[in-house]
Each structure stands twice: as C-alpha cells, then as structure tokens.
Amino acid sequence: MTNASAHSAPVLRVDGVSKQFGGNRVFNNVTLSLNAGEVLGVIGPNGAGKTTLINVVSGQIAPTSGRILYGGRDINDKLFHTRSSMGLVRTFQQTKTFKTASVYENLHRAQLFSGRGISLDESYLTELLRTASLLGRLDQLSDTLPYGMQKMLGLLMAFVTDPRILLLDEPAAGLEKEERFFIDQYVQIAMREMGCCVLLVEHDMDLVKRLCPRVCVLDGGSLIADGPPAEVLARRDVIEAYLGTAGEEEHAHA
Ligand SMILES: Nc1ncnc2c1ncn2[C@@H]1O[C@H](COP(=O)(O)OP(=O)(O)OP(=O)(O)O)[C@@H](O)[C@H]1O
C-alpha cells in the first residue's frame, strides 16, 4: 500500500475536536490528518470513541468543539448528506441496506441518493461484486443474503457513490476470516481506480497491518500513538490500553 503525497496538504483534518455526551467526555482535543493516497488506521479499545469520531467526521453528530476540514475547507456547517455528496462517505459497523430491495436496487439507490456515482458496469465494480459472490445475486433481496454478503453490499453501496474519502467503520466485523480479504481488495481498488483515501477503524490487527502504513490509537479520550503499525502495536501504553478492556480476548488474538 502506498503512502503517497505524505508532504501535501491533508485531504481531511480533524482539528482539535472534542466530543461530549452530557457528562461523558468521549474524546478531547483530537487532531489527526489523512493525506492523499493514504490508508490511515484508527484503532483503540472498545468504547474509545472510534465510531463517534466517524460520526463526527461524517456529519452525523456535531463536535462539542473543534473543526473538520475537508480539502482545507471547514465543513462543520455541512450536514451528513451534503458531506456524502462531496465525497466524504462512511460505512457502518452493522449492515445498513434496503432490506426488501434487491442487490442491484440497493446499489442503484445508493448511487442515486448520493447525487454522484460510478456506473454499475464499471469493470472494477464487477470485479468486487464477483469477489463478494454478489454478481450472480443482483436480483436477490438483500435481507435474504448471508450476513457477510450483506456487509459487503453495504461497503459496495459506499463504493458506487464515487467517494473521495472512505470512512470504514469495522468493515471486517462479523466476516469470516476468508471474507476479510475482500476488504483488502476493496481498499486497493478504491485507491487504485478511484484515487480515494481511507480512514479505517478496525479491531482486526492483521487487516490493519496489511492495509495501513500508519495507525493512530485512541484511548482515554486522546490519541496516544501515531506511527507505523509495527512500532505502535509494540508500545507498552498501547498494549496496556487493549489489555485493560473487556474485549481483550479478541484484541489479544488479533
Ligand atoms: N449518541 C450517544 N449518546 C451518548 N453516549 C454515546 C453516544 N454515542 C456513543 N456514546 C458513548 O461514547 C463512547 C464511545 O463509543 P464508540 O461507539 O464511539 O466507541 P468505539 O471505540 O467505536 O467502540 P467499539 O470498538 O466497541 O465499537 C461510549 O462510552 C458510548 O457509550
């Protein structure tokens, strides 16, 4: 995976962002940048605020303070759907498809609602549909698909909106081990064919190590580390952050 344009202006900047729900301060004064051509991993123990960070960046919730900059422009006043139509597109930890619509219709609606999109017959989309075993199921209703395929369909619904930045929230969660390699292909095609950059929230450390030249660690309301995965994952404070949570078994084996 490339780490291109490391010296150019960031495509996305989370600038001193804090988020508080009532008395629960999830994170405080978090700053991070996503550069062109980059896949940035964001990891951290359960409850660290990773999904909340994606919610704030995608515009689903407002930050308590701080700014989100997209291509250098402050987009705090832009709503979720506006950000999506600008190419700032998220996926969800849980599957989010139109349950009673076919695979084809799901992709078509996603494309239509975004106001942008790639053609459903683009060859790289066909390649991804085939990899996910969805190409022969275009007429099948999404709620009749196995879970892994529904999850992949959710990813492809983001893909067909022609994103500039993909915010992926635990794309591997719930997938079988062999299905997880679909994510590698998805990210590689998004970068190679579409020039996307990717912010990847994920607990599967093998996947993070395969895809991310750089990872940030969120814990206790702050970013505690930022660097290459081999270095970051060997740090004592990062290991302690993981071992101190209830999800330790999955993380320790990841
Ligand atoms: N809408 C909300 N209202 C109140 N508290 C919330 C809300 N959304 C998230 N939180 C709280 O924010 C904290 C961080 O949650 P979040 O889901 O962002 O963590 P996470 O790092 O994504 O966890 P996981 O790895 O388990 O998915 C939790 O304490 C959660 O209860």
Q: Is the CB of 25 under 6 A from ligand 1?
A: no
pLDDT bucket at 245, cuts 50 / 70 / 90 = low
Q: Is the CB of 52 under 6 A from ligand 1?
A: yes
Residue count of the chain: 254
CATH class of 12-253: alpha beta
Q: What does pTM read for this prediction?
A: 0.91
Region at 37 (left for phi over 0; alpha for psi -120 to 50; beta for the rest): left
Q: Which of 19, 26, 248 is the best mutation target for the ligand 1 pocket, counting ligand atoms within 8 Å of the beta carbon and taking the most?
A: 26
For ligand 1, atom 7, the nearest C-alpha belongs to 21
pLDDT for res 6: 44
Q: What is the pLDDT of residues 9-22, one digit of tens each?
A: 799 999 999 999 99
For residue 66, pLDDT over 50 is answered with yes
Q: What is the pLDDT of residues 37-46, one digit of tens each?
A: 999 999 999 9
Which atom of ligand 1 has the smallest separation from the CA of 19? 12
Q: How many helices (H) and strands (E) does the chain have?
A: 10, 10
pLDDT for res 250: 47
Judged by average pLDDT, the poorest of 99-103, 221-225, 250-254 is 250-254
Q: Which of 25, 52, 57, 250 is the best mutation target for the ligand 1 pocket, counting ligand atoms within 8 Å of the beta carbon and taking the most?
A: 52
pLDDT bucket at 121, cuts 50 / 70 / 90 = confident
Q: What letter would DSSP give residue 153?
A: H
Q: Is 152 helix (H, G, I), strand (E, B) or coil?
A: helix
AA letter at 40: L
Tell me the chain's radius of gyration from C-alpha atoms. 18
Q: Is the CB of 24 under 6 A from ligand 1?
A: yes
pLDDT for res 100: 93
Question: What's the CA-to-centroid distance between 24 and ligand 1, angstroms?
Answer: 10
In the block, residue with structure tokens 């997880």: 180
pLDDT for res 118: 86
pLDDT bucket at 148, cuts 50 / 70 / 90 = very high
Q: Is the CB of 246 under 6 A from ligand 1?
A: no
pLDDT bucket at 246, cuts 50 / 70 / 90 = very low
Q: Is the CB of 123 under 6 A from ligand 1?
A: no
Question: What's the CA-to-centroid distance between 47 and ligand 1, angstroms?
Answer: 5
pLDDT for res 252: 43
pLDDT for res 8: 64
Q: Is the CB of 245 under 6 A from ligand 1?
A: no
Longest dimension (CA), the chain: 50
pLDDT above 90 covers a percentage of the chain that reads: 83
pLDDT above 70 covers a percentage of the chain that reads: 93
Is residue 95 within 8 A of residue 150, CB to CB? The reply is yes
pLDDT for res 32: 96
Tell me what the mean pLDDT of segment 208-214 comes to: 97
Q: What is the pLDDT of residues 128-142, one digit of tens each?
A: 999 999 999 999 999
- Name every residue whose Cβ is closer than 8 Å to that of residue 224 and which is 6 or more positions away in sequence: 217, 218, 237, 238, 241
Q: Is the CB of 46 under 6 A from ligand 1?
A: yes
pLDDT bucket at 253, cuts 50 / 70 / 90 = very low
DSSP string, 22-66: TTEEEEEEEEEEE-TT-EEEEE-STTSSHHHHHHHHHTSS--SEE
Q: Is the CB of 47 under 6 A from ligand 1?
A: yes
Question: What's the CA-to-centroid distance between 112 and ligand 1, angstroms?
Answer: 30
For ligand 1, atom 4, the nearest C-alpha belongs to 21
